[in-house]
Amino acid sequence: MIANGRIRIIGGSLRNSRLEVPDLPGLRPTTDRVRETVFNWLQPIIGGARCLDLFAGTGALGIEALSRGASTVTFLERNAQLAAALKANLARLKVQAAVVGDDAVRWLKAGGKPVDVVFMDPPFADDLWEGAAAALENHGWLAPAAWIYVEAPRGADVGVPATWQLHRQGFAGEVAYTLYRRTPDVPLS
C-alpha cells in the first residue's frame, strides 16, 4: 500500500525495501495483499524468469519479481516522472534493469525477445488491455508457455487471445487480478 509516498517490497532479497512513489492522479499500485497472492502463484517459475512489466507505474511488480529471483525485468512506463522515479528506486536498491520510457503498445509492436512472465496493469481509464495483449501475442514477445498477469476493473472484458488460458483469478474490491498461461497449441482465432 502507499503510505507517505512509499510502498514496500514484500518478499525475496529486497524484502521490506521501500519504493519512493510520486503522488500522481490515477496511480494505483498493486496492493501488498494482491502482490503476495500473485507471487505465491508464480513462485514455482519466477526464479530465473525473463519478465516484462508493462505500464510499470511504480515498478512494484517488476521489482518484486527481481527480488524473488527473476533474471531480468524490462519496465515500460510512458510517464516521464514515473519512469524517473523508477530509475531512481532501482539505482538506490542497486538493481540492474532496463526502464523504457515509451508507449507500451507502440513499443510492443516493434517486436522483441520472448519473455516468460508479463505483468500487464494499464491505467484503467485508457482501456489498453486488448491492444497490449494482441501486440504481445503477435509480435514475438511471449515464450511458448509464458505466464501473463492482468489487472483490470472487476467485470471488465479485457479481450485476451485464445492462446491465453485462465490459470487463477482473484478480486480485491473493484479490481480483478488474473493469471493466464499461454498455451500455444490452441489455434489463434
pLDDT bucket at 31, cuts 50 / 70 / 90: confident
CA separation for the pair 83, 99 (Å, rounded): 7
Q: Residue 71 in contact with residue 143, Cβ under 8 Å?
A: no
Q: Which domain holds residue 12?
A: 6-23+30-182
Residue 48: inside a domain: yes
Q: Residue 83 in contact with residue 59, Cβ under 8 Å?
A: no
Residue 188: inside a domain: no
Name which residue leads in pLDDT, 40 or 187: 40
Mean pLDDT value of segment 20-40: 86
Tell me: the pLDDT tens digits for 84-143? 999 999 999 999 999 999 999 999 999 999 999 999 999 888 889 999 999 999 999 999
CA separation for the pair 116, 50 (Å, rounded): 5
Residue 65: inside a domain: yes
pLDDT for residue 160:
93
Range with the poorest average pLDDT among 16-30, 58-72, 105-119, 136-150 = 16-30
Name which residue leads in pLDDT, 68 or 184: 68
Residue 126: inside a domain: yes
| Total domains, the chain | 1
Within 10 angstroms of residue 59's Cβ, the number of other Cβ atoms is 29
In CATH, what number is assigned to the domain containing residue 55?
Answer: 3.40.50.150
Residue 168: inside a domain: yes
Residue 18: inside a domain: yes
Q: What percentage of the chain exceeds 70 in pLDDT?
A: 95
Residue 62: inside a domain: yes
Residue 113: inside a domain: yes
